[in-house]
Structure 1
Amino acid sequence: MEVSLCILLVLLHFNEGIHGLRFTKNPSNQTVTQGNMARLGCAFKGLSEPEIIWLKDGEKIYSTDQMYITLDAHHWETFYSVKSVQQQDAGKYWCEVEYYGRIISSEPAWITVEGVPHFVVEPEDVAAFAGEPFNLTCAASGPPEPVEVLWWLGGEQKGDFMPSPLVLFVKGVNDSIKFYCEAKNARGISVSRTGTVHIKVCPDYPQDVKVHHASDLNITLTWSPGFTGHSQLSTCTIQVSKGPGKKVKLPDVDVVVPPFQHVFEGLSSYSNYSVRIRCDNEVGSSPFSPWVGFHTPEAAPSAAPKNFTFELSEQQLTLSWAALEQEELRGRLLAYKVQWNQGGESQDPLLFKDNVARLSGAGRFFNATFQVAACTMAGCGPWSQPVLVMPVSGMAWLQTLRGKETQFGSAFAASGTDVPVSFTAARSFNRQFPEPPESTLDSLGINSDLKAKLQDVLISERLLTLGRMLGKGEFGSVREAFLKSENNSGQKVAVKVLKTDINSSSDIEQCLKEAAYMKDFHHPNVIELIGVSLHRRAQQRIPIPMVILPFMKHGDLHTFLLMSRLGDEPFTLSQQILIQFMLDIARGMEYLSSKKIIHRDLAARNCMLNENMSVCVADFGLSKKIYSGDYYRQGSVSKLPVKWIALESLADNVYTTQSDVWAFGVTMWEIMTRGQTPYPGVENSEIYEYLIKGERLKQPPDCPADIYEIMHSCWSPVPKCRPSFQRLIDQLELLWAKLNPAPVKEPLLYVNLEEEDGEQASGLVTETGTHNSEELSWGVPWQCAGIEEDEKDWLMVSSGAALAIGGDYRYIINPHGSGIDDENRHSDDGLSEDIRDEEEDVNINV
C-alpha cells in the first residue's frame, strides 16, 4: 500500500512538471530575398538547462550557429540563423524539447525564399524518329510569382514569354538539335540546362563479345551493347557455327536484353566454334559483330572401346579393340588403360598408345579378366565389358563376366558407367612397369576459385627437367630447369618447388596463390608466370606444386649489388645504372598498384635481373589483392621483414600502396649502398621506437642530395604525403636524363655466384664506410598539403610516442638463397655484416 502511494505521488509530480513546460515564443513566418539572412527564434520555460532542437521539414538541423540566451533560471531563448538564404533553405521550421521520453513542440513557421525563378521541370534529352512530332515541357516557380517561360530551339526563339508551365509542340526534326528555356519573374531571369533532340537510328554492332566458363557441354557468352541508336535495345540474335573450314551453322538464338549474356548448352567437347551477335531496337537491326572463335575443353570419353578381343599363343597374349570415334572420344587420346584381375585380385593397370597390346608370358594370364578404357587429358571413360582369357583346344575363347565383388569393392564397373579417374600421359608407356598417371589440381584440396584460375596454366610434369639448385628459402627451393614444349622446342626456366615435408593443403594453397596473382601480370618490370606443374610423390596423397618462372640470368638484385663491392672481382655500377634499377622497380610497382595489388614485401632481394639487366619485381608470396577500399589489414601472426615495413604497418598492421612506397624508399637506399642492410646497428625490436622518434635511414656516402630527397619523401609518417609511384617515376626520369650517357657503353659483368662444382664462391671482401649511428638524422620536416589537423602531429619529431614491438626473430639468407645455420654465422670467413644480417624478421601478433 505504501509502495503504491509513492508511485502515485511520483506520477502526480511528473504530470505537474509536464504541465509547467511550455514554449513562450514560437518562430515566425519569414519571406526572405535570396542571398539575405534569415533568423528564427524560440523560447522555452520550465527547465534549468533545456536542449532545444531545431527541425526543418521533419529533419533535425545540426548547426554550430545555434545560440542560447538565458531569460531567467528556468527560461531560455534560442536562435537559428541562415547567413545567405538559398532556395533549398525554404521550408517548415519548428523547435522541440524532450522531457522523459515526451516531445514538446513549438508552433511551426515557414521561410519563403524570393529570388530568380527555379526550375521545377527542366528540359531533358529527347529521342525521336526523324520528322515525327513531339512535345517539350518546361516549368519554373518563384517566389515571387508570377513566373513566365520562353522556349529556344536550335538557337531560335519560339514565341514569347508565357505563364509557367509551358509546353512546346515540335512538328518534327530530321537532324539532332539543341533546346533550352528561360524563366523570368520580378527578381530576374534563369536559364535551364540545354537538352538535345536525338534522331533514332539503327544500333551499331555489339562490343566485347567474350566466352566465359567454357565447359565440355556449355559456355556463357557475354557482350556489351555498342551505340544503341538512341533507342533501347530489345533483343539480340546470336549465330553459332561449328568446325573449321566449311562450318556447320547452328540455329539462330534470339535473346531478350538486358542482361547482355546467354548460356549455350548442348555443345560438343573438344570442338571449334565461332559466334557473332547483332542487336535490335525499334528502328531496326545492327550489323553482326565480328566472329569470335572459341574451343570447348576436353572431356572424358563417353563410350568404352568396342570389339575387345584377345589372341593367346605360347609366347604372348595379344589384346585388341576398336578405336573410338571422335564424337565418343571427346578429346585428344592420351592412352588406353587396361586393367586386369586374376584370382579376385586387381593387378596394376597398363597403359598403351595404340589399340593393341602385346603381353609376353602368356601362361600367367590364364583365367585372367581384362577391361579397357580410353583416356584423355580430362580423364578416362567407361570400361569395356570384361573379357576372360581361357585356353581351350588351342583356341582362345571370348567370354563376358558379370561384375565380381572383391575385398577392394566391385572388380568391374557396369557398362557405360563413368569412372572418376583423372589421367595425364605418362613419360613413357612401359608395358611391364607403367608410370602412374599425373596429378591434377583436384588432388591438392585447394578452393575451387583458385583451382579455376590455375587450370589453364597447368603444365605436365613430363615436360620439365630439373637442374641445379639456385636458392633455398623457408618454404622451398628454386631450381634451374628445362621446359620442353609440345613441338619439342624448349627454354631455360626457374622452378619454385615447395618443400617435400609440407603436406598441408593450406600451405600449398598459399604457394599457389602467388602463381594466381602472377598469371595476370604482363609488364616488362614484373616477373610473369609461365605455368604451374605438380610433382607426384611416392607414398604421398598430395603432390608437390611447382611454380614455373622465367630464368633470370643475373639472379636477385640484392646479391648482385653485394657482389659488385664484396665479390672476388668487384665491379663498378655507375649512378646512371643505379637510377635505372630504381626506375625499373618503380615502373613495375606502378603497374601492380594499377592492378590493385599490394606487394607487402618489396626489397632488393625480391627483385630479379634478367639477361638485359632489366629489373623485374618478383616474389608475391605476401601480396594481397584489394577488392574494395584501398588498404589491407594483416590479421594473423606472420613473419614479416621489419626493416622494410612502413610506420603505420608496424603500428596497426594496415598495408596500402603507400606502405609499398615506403618499402620502395628502403629499396632505393639498398641500391645506393650496394646491398647494405638497412638501419645498421639498430635491432629489429628497436625499429618502431627508432622511427616514431622521427629517425630515418641516413644519407649514404656518394648519394646525391636529390636522390636522398626522393627516398626520404617515401618515409613520411603520413601515408598520403608520400609520393605515388607515378610521381616517383617522373622524378627519377628527370634525374636519369640529367646524367650524360657514357661515350662508350661499358658492358656489365655477370657475377657467377657458384664455382664449377656448385659450391658458393668464397673470399668476399668486407667493405666499411657506413654512417656513424650518432650522425644527425634528416633535419628537414616533411611537407604535405591538404592534410587534417590531427595528422600534422605525425609530421612533428617527438620521442617516447610509442613502445617498441617486442621480440627479435631472425633468419639469415646467404647470397645464394640457402639457409646459413648458427654454427656458420660466426665463422671468420670475412663476410661483412651486410651478408650476415641480410634479412631480419619479427613475428607480429595481431
Structure 2
Amino acid sequence: MGGGLCGAPPPRPPLSPLSLLGAIAALGLRFLEHPSDARAAPGGSLRLRCRARGDEEPPELGWERDGAALDGDSDLAQVALPGGAWVATSQLRLSPVSASDSGRYRCWARLGGGARLLSREAHLELAGLPVFLEEPQDLELAVLAPFRLRCSARGPPEPVRLRWLRDGTPQNGLGDPLGQSPSTLWVPGLNRSSSFACEAHNERGVATSRSATVTVLAPAPRNLGLAAAGPRWLEVTWEPGDGFGDTGGDQECTVQLSPGDAAAVAAVADPADPASIADPAAVADPAAVAAVSRSVPVPPFSLRLAGLRPLSRYLARVACRDRRGRSAWSRWVPVATEEGAPEGPPRNVSAAWVGPGRARLRWGPPRDPLNGVLGGFRVGYGTPAHPEVILDVGLAQEASLDLGSLGPNVTLRVVSYTGGGGGPWSPPPLPPPPPAPLETQLVRPAAPAGVWWPALLALLALGALALLALLALAARRRHKETRYGAAFAPAVRFRVRSSYGRRSAQATLNRLGISPELKEKLRDVLVERHRVALGKTLGEGEFGSVVEGTLHQDSGVLRVAVKTMKLAICSRGELEDFLSEAACMKEFDHPNVMKLIGVCLQPWGRGSEGAPPAPIVLLPFMAHGDLHSFLLCARLGDPPTALTPRTLLGFMADIAAGMSYLSQRNFVHRDLAARNCMLDERLRVRVADFGLSKQVGGSQYYRQGRGAPVPVKWVALESLAERVYTTKSDVWSFGVTMWEIAAQGLTPYPGLENSEVFEFLRGGRRLGAPPQCPPHLYALMRRCWAADPRARPTFEELGGALGGLLRGLPPPPGAPAPPHE
C-alpha cells in the first residue's frame, strides 16, 4: 500500500531553469531593453543601460560583471504606468574606463526580493593606443659596463609590438623576438653616453616611452678600505680611478655608508641581470640606499666619518668628480665601528641592610643603547674617610656586601660595562639606618647595684605620657569625623584602606602559586582592579576590544585605554607566560612603541572558582585613536582631508622604528596592522596592541600551539601554512600595513575572502600597487612579501630606506632649503 494521509508527502522536484524563467514571467517581470556590446578607449567614459517591466510592482535592477556582483556607479529610475504596471531603468556609469572594466556585463531584475531574471550578456572591449607598464630608466655606468633596459606595454587592442630606439635609430624589427612585450634590451657596453626609448605599436597607432639617458662615467675609484675605526667613527681611504685629475681643476670625492652587510646590498640587485651583480650601483638608488653621504676635496684620498652607531656594520662606496664629470661608484665594501660604552646607568638600584655590617644591593639592566655586548657590572662602596672598593660581579644583578664597620655614611653605586668601557655610575641609593652592631647587642656594661629602679620608673612614666597623648589624638579625630559625618548625612562615609591595593593582587598571585621571582618582577606591573573604571568602547578587534577608562592613582586620575583579550587564559602556566611578557613590556621605552601602564586581573565571577583570572591591559589614551580609523576619516570625510606623501611616509617610518625596537628585544608582534597602531596628539605613530606578542628566545621563532584565530590578510605565507611566527613574519605584516597607509585605509586583497588568501599567495601572486603609489615605494612593499623569509629586509633596513625616501621629497612650504652637499 502507498502512503496514506498519515504518511509524509513525496518530495517535490526542483524547478529547472526553464521552469524558473516561466515562474518569473508568470509574475509579470520581463526586460524591455538589454545592455548592448560596447567598445571604449582607456581613460574615457561609458554608460550601459537596461530596462525592465513589472505588471504589479516596481522592479529592482542591478548589475554583475563576469558573474560577480558589481557595486558600481549606477542609478535606478522607476516610473508607474496606467493600470498598475511599472517600468524601471538602470544606467551603469564607467568613468574613467580602465583595463579592469573589460568583461561580460549582465543586468538583473527581480520583484520584492524574489528570484532574479538575467538580461542578455553585453561585452565591453577596450581599444586605444598602447599603455606602458614599464619604461626604460636612466642609468650611470662605467665604460663598457654591460646593462639591461626593460620595456612593456599592453592594449587593448592586442597584440602590442615593441621597437627599441638608440639615439633615434631602430635597434630591432617589430617581428623580432625583441619586439614582444615585455621586452629586455641587452647592451654589452657603451663608450659614450646615449639615449634609449621604446615604441609600442598596435592597430590603433604608436605610443613612445620616455627617453632614458645612459651616462658613461669615468673609471671608479679602487682599493677602498678601512684605515681606522672607533665606537662612533670610521676612517676610509681609497685610490682614484685611471685618468682622474689629469685635466686639472677642482676635484672632490663622495663617500656613502649604508647600514647592513653584503646581503643587504645583494637584496637590491637583480640576480637575472649580470650588470646589477657586478655593480650594485647600477640598480640601487643612492638616495634610498645611503644613510650617510659626505663629500671632501681631494687629495688626500681619505675621509673620517663621525656620528655613527657603535658596534654596527656598514657598507661603504666612493665616487669622485673632476672636470670631466663624475666617476662610477666603487663596489660596496663592508666596514664596522668598534664597541662603545653604555650610555645610561643601571636602573632601579636599591639597597637594604640584611644584618650587622652586611647590605644587599640590587639593580636592573641599563637603558639602551648599550652600544655593545653587556660584559657585566661593577659595584663600588666606600665613605669619605675610606677609599672606594670596586668589585666585578659579572652579569649578576644583585650583590651581598660585607661593609664591616663603615657605618651609615657608606656610599653604594653600580656601573655596567661592555668591551668599549664602562658607562655612567648609578646615583647612590639611600639605604635605611643600619641595625646596631652585634657587639653592642651582646656586650653591655654592667649597671651598678641599686641604680636600675629609677631608670625603670622613668621608662614607665614616659610610657604613660605617650599613651595619654595617643588617646587624646584618637578622641579628637573621632570628634572631627562625627562632625563631618553629620554635615553630609545621609551620605555613606568610608575610608580607603591603604593596605588593600597591594594585598589583593598579591593574594591572587599566592593563590595561583606564582613563583616568588615573577611576583617580584610584577611589583610595579600589577594594578588593582578596583582602581580602574571602564567607559565607552573605543574599538573591536580580532583578538579583543578597547574601552576608554580611568585609573585612580594616589597622585590623581589618569585617562587610559583598557585592552580586554578575547583569547582565554586556560591554565596557570599560560597566565604566568602572559604576566612574564607584561613585566618585559613594562620596560619598553621608545617614542614609537606604546608603553604599558599596567595589568589588572579580572575574576571570572560565579561558577568559575579556581579558574585563572582574565588579564586586562592598561595603555595610555591616544588623542587621535588608531591609524586605520584616522586614514578612513581623512579619505571619506566630508570634506575629505588630503594627506601629503610626507605624512604617509612619516607614518611608515614611525612604525618601522617602533618594530625595529621590538625586534631587537626579541619580541614578535604577530598582529601588526594599521588598526593596531595609535596616533598621539602630535600625530606620531606608536605600535600598540601587544595582546598577541610573544617574547622568543635564542631560536628566534614562536610556533603557535592552539587553534586561535589569525588576521589572515596581514599574516605571512609561512605563518598561514605552519603557524610559525618570527621577526621576518612581522616584516611581511609591515608590508601590508604600508599598503594600507598608501591606500589610505582600503582593506587589503579587495574582492578576496579570508579563505581564498592562502591559495592566492601560494600561487606567487601578491597585493597590487595602491592607487597613485610611487613605484619605488611599492617595490619596498614587495620585498617585504618575499616567499623566503630570509630574503625580506630587516626593520632597520626598512627604516633607512623610508628615511631616504622622506629626504628625497621636496621640503614643505616655508621650510628652509637643505644644505648643499
- The structure with the greater share of residues assigned to helix is 2
The answer to whether TM tops 0.5 is no
